Amino acid sequence: MALIRLQKFLSEAGFCSRRKGEKYIKDGHVRVNGAVVTELGTKIEPDKAQVEVQGKLIKAKDDLIYIVLNKPKGYVTSCNQPGDNIVLNLIDIPERVYPIGRLDKDSTGLLLLTNDGRIHHRLLHPSFDHEKEYEVIVSSPIPEGALRKMAKGLPMMGTITRPARVRRISSKIFRIVLKEGKNRQIRRMVRKVGNRVVRLRRIRISDIKLGKLAEGSWRYLTKKEIKSLLRVL
C-alpha cells in the first residue's frame, strides 16, 4: 500500500480533521509503532503502522462512500421512521450511509449521503457559508417586490433570515441560494410574502450539482466532487 502522511491517515480514519491531526503531531500526542512522532512530513503505511493518539489506537477506516441522490417526493430523510418511505431504501449498497442534512417529505432533489462522519457539521452549519440552491414553483405569479424581500431577509422563528440570492425564471418559478437551512425555511419565506410553494427542488449543494440525475436515482460522487467536498474539512 502507498505511503500517506500521518495527518492524512488520522483524517481518513475519521478521527479528526487534518489540521487537528497536525496539532496532535506537533504537540507530541501521536505515536507510530510505539515512538512519538512530531514531524508533520512523516509518512506511514496505513495497513501496517500502529498509530496511537493520546494512548488511543487509531485504525484505518473502511472505504469512505459519498453519494448524491435525487430524492423523490414522499420520502423522508430520517434513517428510521416507521410507516414512512425512507431515503435509505433507495440506496442499494451493503454499506451503511447517512443523509447529510434534510429535505422535507414534500420536497425533492439533491441529497448527499455518506459514511464519513467528519463532514456533517461543516456542511450544515451556516458559519461555513456553504451554498444550497433550490428551484421553487409557487401557486400564483410572484412580484419583484416579494423576491427582493426574500433576498434581503425576512423575520422568522425569532430572527431574520440571512441575505439570499434570488433569480426569477418565470412568473411562478424562481431560484434561491441560501447559506443557512432553517426548518422548512423556503416554504415559510414564501408564505411570508403571500404565496404558496407548489414544488421545491434542491439542485445544488456547494459545488455538487443535481444535473440530469433522474428522480429516485443515485450515483457515487466523482473524484473531483469528493475533492471539492472534502475542502470543508
Tally of CB atoms within 10 A around 167? 12
- Buried-state track 103-122, b at ≥16 Cβ within 10 A, e below 16: beeebbbbbbbbbbebbeeb
Determine which one of 62, 84, 104, 116 is catalytic. Answer: 104
Largest CA distance in the chain: 69
Residue 49 backbone phi and psi in degrees, to 5: -75, 140
Tally of CB atoms within 10 A around 185? 20
Residue 226 backbone phi and psi in degrees, to 5: -65, -45
Asked if 205 and 120 count as a contact pair (C-beta separation under 8 A), the reply is no
Q: At how many degrees (to 10) do helices 144-152 and 185-192 cross? A: 130
Is 104 considered catalytic here?
yes
Active site residues: 104
